[in-house]
Chains A and B, each alone.
Chain A
Amino acid sequence: MPVDPSLVGREFPAPAPLTVTPERVRAFAAAVGHPDGAVPPTFPIVLAFDAMQAFLDAERIDLHRIVHGEQRFAYVRPLELGDELTATLTVTGLRQIGGADIIATASELTDVTGAVVCTGKATLVHSAGAGGAA
């Protein structure tokens, strides 16, 4: 089933803020082998993923039908331990190629002062039917 075209422009906040704790950073860094003590640059995906999951849940899209097509992050400042971040995902575009929906999204991560810390752009490839991936 194709994704509803009226989605473009809609916003989906992550359900809860994320605190950048030493434990979370250590676990993430260990999983990707990043040097100790640093916040890996891809760490914001943890919160961006929560916002994406909120979008998928709202639209009843199965995660296993999604393949990540593109991800770009621009950092206004480095993430710091103790940051409490919130994220909102906006659907910015939608097109169909070979039976797949190509969903373009933008996400914004802000700190408790409301300042933007990081922005993300992602493309999600949704294969609609069984075995339908292009």
Chain B
Amino acid sequence: MNAGDVLGPLTFTVTRADLVAYADASGDHNPIHQDEEVARSVGLPGVIAHGMYTLALVGRAVAEWTDGAEVVDLGAKFTSPVVVPAEGGAEVVVAGTVKSVADGLATLALEVTCGGQKVLGMPKAVVRTGARA
């Protein structure tokens, strides 16, 4: 892995059923991720994906790009909600480049979008490259 390497964009479809499965697996049963009425009552545009679901998709993309390299840092701001319609799904695109490689760690620059709009602010992932420092 070298600085400047482009990591091919990966597209993931998120459905309401995915959010139900995620709620069960994660324990986060916040109804804003299930119930249109509750979501709108707190000012959201509709049912939104768990921010952590979107971040999990980033983790999945990183695992695919790096063949399961050890992740030492992962995070983002959830700046714009991923609105998930009742029918069909929302498409989340995770794209990246290798920003820097130093001391056996690679820092990835990421862009995560839904419908062409950035949904994560300052997303960051750092993985161990296996190379000796």
| Known A32-B53, A32-B60, A49-B27; contact A69-B68, beta-carbon cutoff 8 A | no
Q: How far is the CA of A66 from the CA of B76 in the complex (A)?
A: 17
Bits for A1-41, please: 1 = Cβ < 8 Å to B, else 0: 00000000000000000000000100110111111001011
B 43-61 binary contact with A (CB < 8 Å = 1; else 0): 1100010111101110110
**A27 touching B25, Cβ below 8 Å:** yes
User: CB-CB < 8 A to A49: which residues of B?
Assistant: 26-28
With the chains together, A73 CA to B55 CA distance in Å? 11
Q: Which residues of B contact A41 (CB under 8 A)?
A: 59, 62, 71, 74
B63 at interface, CB cutoff 8 A = yes
Q: B59–A32 contact, CB under 8 A?
A: yes
Q: Please tell me if A72 contacts chain B, counting CB pairs below 8 Å.
A: yes
Is B98 in the interface zone, CB < 8 Å from A? no
Compute how far the CA of A105 lies from the CA of B72 in the bound complex, rounded to whole angstroms: 20
Given contacts A40-B60, A130-B41, A131-B42, contact A72 B25 (CB under 8 A): no
Report whether A64 and B22 are in contact in the complex, using a CB–CB cutoff of 8 Å.
Answer: no
Q: How large is the interface on B (under 10, 10 to 19, 20 to 34, 35 or more residues)?
A: 35 or more
B5 at the interface (CB under 8 A from A): no
Cβ of B23 to closest chain A Cβ, rounded Å? 9
A65: chain B residues at CB < 8 Å are 42
- Alpha-carbon gap, A74 to B72, bound state (A): 6
Query: A97-134: contact bitstring with B at CB < 8 Å (1 yes, 0 no)?
Result: 00000000000000000000000010100010011111
The reply on B89 being an interface residue by CB < 8 A is no
For chain A, the count of residues having a C-beta within 8 Å of the partner chain is 40
Smallest beta-carbon distance B78→chain A, Å: 6
Chain B residues closer than 8 Å to A123, beta-carbon distance? 77
Please tell me if the beta carbons of B71 and A30 are within 8 angstroms of each other in the complex: no
On chain A, the residues within 8 Å of B59 by CB distance are: 32, 34, 40-42
Bound: A127/B41 CA distance, A: 10
In the assembled complex, the Cα of A99 lies from the Cα of B42 at a distance in Å of: 12
A66→B26 CA distance, assembly (Å): 16
CB of A68 within 8 A of chain B?
A: yes
| Chain B residues, CB < 8 A from A72 | 73-76, 124
In chain A, positions 33-84 with a C-beta closer than 8 Å to chain B are: 33-35, 38, 40-42, 45-46, 49-50, 53, 63-75, 78
